[in-house]
Amino acid sequence: MSTGARKLFGTDGIRAVAGEAPLDPGTIYATGLALGHSLSAKTERPRVILGRDTRESGPWIAATIAAGLSEAGAEVESAGTVPTPAVAFLTRKHGFDAGVVISASHNPWRDNGIKLFGGDGFKLPDAVELEIEKEIFERIGTMAVPDHTTLEPVKGNSAYKLDYIDFLLKAVQYLKLDGMKIVADCANGAAAAIAPSLFRPLGGEVELMNISPDGRNINDGCGALHPEWVAKQVKERGANLGLTFDGDADRCMLADSQGKVINGDAILLIAARDMKERGLLTGDMVVATTMSNMGLEAALKRSGITMLRAPVGDRYVLEMMQKENAALGGEQSGHVLFPHLATTGDGLLTALVALDLIVRSGKSIDELTADLKVYPQVIVNVNVREKKPLESIPSVAEKIRAAEEELRDTGRVVIRYSGTEPLARVMIEAESEEAMRRNADAIADAIRAELGV
């Protein structure tokens, strides 16, 4: 699980402002070369599939990484604009040796990123990413880089998109939404390329919103990062349910008919109970993260289900799930893993599984989550200039110790750095809202004073 040695690949691939290091043309081209060489060591003519979200930088990044891959002897195909999980699925189904996703997920439009999947549909292991990194650093500054403005665009094959939609529909083959009114927020991202064809055969009244990407409006005041937007639409339009996805559609959150946001914790709860009832929940356990609310743990316990906590990041949730042979895991952010259905978190799949569960139960999402008592929780993000170990800073360590002491039996303190952004995240959960906010502010202020930008 050690990621410390990796310099380019964070918890979710390479991510940065498009055009700036480490997402400049030279590094992108070197990434294509290094991945191609890594694959060529095992296969004579490796095949790689690309997919991207709707950011305006996506096409030139795709063309640049494809040029590097081709130069290294790989054959490159593209699924065009598709969700991240679509690439994981297509890589495995069609026997590609690797899948490459060009996306920065929930980040603003200026950012972009590169995520790599192995032929098995899982993210590449740390050791393989380290080897690829090593070659990237050796090549930067020592090779000729093609001018990305002259490169041929990578043409998408629409058959792959249809393949992915077919997979999603087969996962819930008996689902019909007749009589339901649903609002779906596609975040002007990858879900916008799939949702119209996906929901049409399911019946019901599904109003799709934010499905007009312009390269810059992805995640802009909408999507899973702003679930309150769809929650408001649900209430105003008298809908039964809201669905909201992030830019690359690997996350999903819901909203109930009263306009209340239903996050990943609540989705895990209803899925765990349903899977247990149907004998699908191995070991009666769920893997959540250090950020998941204590209320989820308590509600699962009442249903005879154990909750394990992994570090934040879907790769760590998956790692613990594989180790414990768990059939369900996920994050509060709406990133949910159903390994019996897919190798990675898939927002559209999560939405369909939740809808199928709601229809089969004959209950509303409000009823299904009625007993989930959420402890007050606050997350304060602090912009930092460097990610120095927090325990090595006396003033910060002291505030963390004081908070842990005060909240020992009535709350939790989780402080961590973001794996994809220059942020320290201060999360405090407590029965007392006053104690929660006071301690969160004290720790955030101490971090800001020492490391703030």
Q: Which of 105, 292, 333, 395 is catalytic?
A: 105
Please name the residue that has the structure tokens 């665009």.
Answer: 153
Q: What is the CA radius of gyration of the chain?
A: 22
Residue 214: Cβ within 10 Å count: 11
Determine how β-strand 306-310 pairs with β-strand 285-289: parallel
Task: Confirm whether 105 is a catalytic residue.
Answer: yes
Cβ-Cβ contacts under 8 Å for 410 (sequence gap 6 or more): 430, 431, 432, 435
Residue 303: Cβ within 10 Å count: 14
Give one DSSP letter per residue of 8-39, joined into a string.
S-BBTBEEEETTSTTSSHHHHHHHHHHHHHHH
Residue 90 and residue 79: Cα distance in Å, rounded? 9
The residue length of the chain stands at: 453
- The angle at the Cα of 144, spanning 139 to 146, to the nearest 5 degrees, equals 115
- Residue 342 is encoded by which pair of tokens? 């897919």
Catalytic annotation, residues:
105
